[in-house]
Amino acid sequence: MLSGAMTVPIATFQEEERMRRFENLIGGKKIASASGKWMPSLDRYHNENWCEIPDSGPQDVDAAVAAAKTAFRMRLT
C-alpha cells in the first residue's frame, strides 16, 4: 500500500440505489395491489433486495385479464 493512501469503503448495492417500488400496470394505469401489500424482489447477483413489487392476488389478476380483454376487443374494431 502506498504511504498516505486512503481506503474508501465500497458502498453496497442498496446504499447506491434507493429501494424502488414498482406497481402493476393494468389498463395503462399504474396500480398497487388490491391488498395493499408489497413484497421484496431479490437481485440474485448481489443477493440483496433491490425493489418492492405488489403482492398481487386474484383480484389483481381478474382486473388485468379484464383490461387485456377490453384492449383486445378494441383492437379488433
Torsion, Cα of 11, 21, 68, 56 (10° steps) = 110
**Is residue 24 within 8 Å of 30, Cβ to Cβ?**
yes
User: What pTM does this model have?
Assistant: 0.66
Question: Does the structure show a pLDDT above 80 at 23?
Answer: yes
Question: Does the structure show a pLDDT above 60 at 8?
Answer: no
Residue positions counted in the chain: 77
Higher pLDDT, 44 or 5: 44
Q: How far apart are CA 38 and CA 31, in angstroms?
A: 12
Q: Strand 38-43 vs strand 20-21: parallel, antiparallel, or unpaired?
A: unpaired
| 24: nearest Cα among 59, 69, 73 | 59
